[in-house]
A and B are shown apart, each in its own frame.
Chain A
Amino acid sequence: MLHSSGERPPYPRNLDTVKHATETPDVEQPWSELGLKQDEYERIREILGRRPTGAELAMYSVMWSEHCSYKSSKVHLKQFGEKAPENDAMLVGIGENAGVVDVGQGYAVTFKVESHNHPSYIEPYQGAATGVGGIVRDILAMGARPVAVMDPLRFGAADHPDTKRVLPGVVAGIGGYGNCLGLPNIGGEVVFDDCYQGNPLVNALCVGVMKHEDIHLAKASGTGNKVILYGARTGGDGIGGVSVLASETFESTGPAKRPAVQVGDPFQEKLLIECTLEIFKENLVAGIQDLGGAGLSCATSELASAGSGGMRVELDTVPLRDATLSPEEILMSESQERMCAIVEPDKVDRFLEICEKWDVIATVIGEVTEGDRLEIFWHGEQIVDVPPRSVAHEGPTYHRPYERPSWQDALQADDANKLPRPASGAELKEQVLKLVASPNQASKSWITDQYDRFVQGNTVLAQPEDSGMIRIDADTNLGVAVATDGNGRYAKLDPYAGAQLALAEAYRNVATTGAKPLAVSDCLNFGSPEDPAVMWQFAEATRGLADACQTLGTPVTGGNVSLYNQTGETAIHPTPVVAVLGVIDDVTRRTPVAFKEEGQLLYLLGDTKEEFGGSAWSQVIHGHLGGLPPAVDLERERLLAEILISASRDGMIDAAHDLSDGGLIQAVVESCLRGGTGARLVVPDGLDAFTFLFSESAGRAVVAVPRSEELRFTDMCGARGLPVTRIGVVDGAESDSNAVVDVQGEFVLSLAELRTAHEETIPALLV
Chain B
Amino acid sequence: MTARIGVVTFPGTLDDRDTQRAVRLAGAEAVPLWHRDKDLKQVDAVVLPGGFSYGDYLRAGAISRFSPLMETVIDQAKAGLPVLGICNGFQVLTESHLLPGAMLRNNHLHFICRDQKLRVESDRTAWTADYTAGQEISIPLKNIDGRYVADERTLDMLEAEGRVAFRYLARGEAADGYGNPNGSLRDIAGITNEAGNVVGLMPHPEHAVEPGIGTGRTDGLGFFTSILKKLVNV
Contacts and interface: CB of A to CB of B under 8 A. Distances in A.
Interface of A: 172, 175-176, 179-182, 265-268, 270-271, 358-359, 445, 449-460, 471, 474, 587-588, 759
B12 interface: yes
B36 to A, nearest CB: 8
Contact of B18 (A359, A457, A460): A457
A449 B115 CA distance: 10
Nearest to A359: B11
Interface stretch (B76-84, B125-133, B187-195, B208-216): B208-216
Contacts of A175: 111
Interface of B: 11-12, 14-15, 17-18, 21-22, 51-52, 54-57, 110-114, 140, 142, 144, 175, 204, 206-207, 209-210, 212-215
Contacts of B114: 449
B3 to A, nearest CB: 21
Contacts, number: 87
B55 A265 contact: yes
A682 B108 CA distance: 43
A179 B214 contact: no
A266 B214 contact: no
A42 to B, nearest CB: 47
A187 B51 CA distance: 21
B214 A457 contact: yes
11 contacts: A176-B111, A179-B111, A182-B15, A267-B54, A267-B55, A449-B110, A452-B111, A454-B113, A457-B21, A457-B213, A457-B214
A455 B11 contact: no
Contacts of A176: 111
Given A450-B112, A457-B214, A271 B11 contact: yes
A152 B163 CA distance: 45
A458 B213 contact: yes
Contacts of B214: 454, 457, 459
Nearest to A471: B213
The A interface is mostly helix, strand or loop, or mixed, namely mixed
A66 B87 CA distance: 44
Contacts of B56: 180
B204 A454 contact: yes
B182 to A, nearest CB: 12
A271 B53 CA distance: 10
A452 B15 contact: no
B139 to A, nearest CB: 10
A474 B211 CA distance: 12
Contact of B207 (A454, A587, A588, A759): A454
Given A449-B114, A450-B111, A452-B111, A182 B213 contact: no
A358 B9 CA distance: 11
Given A172-B110, A449-B112, A456 B142 contact: no
A393 to B, nearest CB: 37
Given A179-B142, A451-B113, A457-B18, A266 B212 contact: no
Given A456-B17, A457-B18, A271 B113 contact: no
B57 A267 contact: yes
Nearest to A180: B52
A273 to B, nearest CB: 11
A265 B213 CA distance: 30
Contacts of A266: 52, 55
Contacts of A453: 113
Given A271-B11, A271-B12, A457-B207, A450 B110 contact: yes
B212 A587 contact: yes
Contact of A457 (B55, B111, B113, B206): B206
Residue among B12, B51, B206 having the largest count of chain A Cβ atoms under 10 Å: B12
A454 B111 contact: no
Contact of A455 (B18, B21, B175, B215): B18
Nearest to B115: A454
A474 B52 CA distance: 25
Contacts of B55: 180, 265-268, 270
Contacts of A588: 212
Contact of A358 (B11, B21, B111, B175): B11
A182 B49 CA distance: 12
A179 B141 CA distance: 13
B217 to A, nearest CB: 11
Contacts of B212: 460, 587-588
State the 10 A-B residue pairs at the shortest beta-carbon distance, nearest first: A267-B55, A182-B14, A457-B18, A180-B52, A454-B207, A454-B140, A452-B142, A450-B111, A454-B214, A175-B111
